[in-house]
C-alpha cells in the first residue's frame, strides 16, 4: 500500500523567499504524481502533473521535480507571495487513476 509523507507539515516564511516542499512515497511504481493546492474551505486545484518519465515540470513560479527510483518529489516555489498561502498536497498515482494523498504542507507567506 502506497504511503505518502510530506515535510514540513507547516511552514511560515516572509514574502519573497524561495522555498521547497518535500514529498516522499514508498511505492515507486507510479504512473505520475500531481501537486495540488487547497485553500481553506475549498476544493483542490491541480498545480502540476509530472509523468513518471519526466524529471521536472514547470508552471510559472512553480517547479516540480520527480525522482521515481528514490520515491521523492519536490515542489519549488520561487519568490513566494502572500497569495501562495495555502495547503499543498502531493499525490502519486499507482494504479490507473487512483491517487494517494500526503498529509499536506500548510504554507503561510507573510507580507
The answer for residues whose C-beta is within 8 angstroms of residue 74's C-beta and 6 or more apart is 20, 21, 22, 23, 64, 65
Cα angle 50, 55, 60; round to 5: 60
Nearer to another protein, 45 or 81 (CB): 45
Choice between 37 and 84, CB closer to another protein: 37
Nearer to another protein (CB atom), residue 14 or residue 103: 103
Give the binding site for another protein (CB under 8 A): 31-32, 34, 36, 41-46, 49, 51, 89, 91, 93, 95-104
Amino acid at each position: 500500500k502506497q504511503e505518502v509523507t510530506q515535510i514540513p507539515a507547516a511552514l511560515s516564511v516572509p514574502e519573497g523567499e524561495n522555498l521547497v516542499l518535500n514529498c516522499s512515497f514508498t511505492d515507486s511504481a507510479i504512473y505520475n504524481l500531481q501537486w495540488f493546492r487547497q485553500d481553506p474551505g475549498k476544493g483542490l486545484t491541480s498545480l502540476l502533473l509530472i509523468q513518471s518519465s519526466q524529471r521536472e515540470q514547470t508552471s510559472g513560479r512553480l517547479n516540480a521535480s520527480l525522482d521515481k527510483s528514490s520515491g521523492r518529489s519536490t515542489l519549488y516555489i520561487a519568490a513566494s507571495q502572500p497569495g501562495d498561502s495555502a495547503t499543498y498536497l502531493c499525490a502519486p498515482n499507482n494504479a490507473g487513476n487512483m491517487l494517494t494523498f500526503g498529509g499536506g504542507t500548510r504554507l503561510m507567506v507573510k507580507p
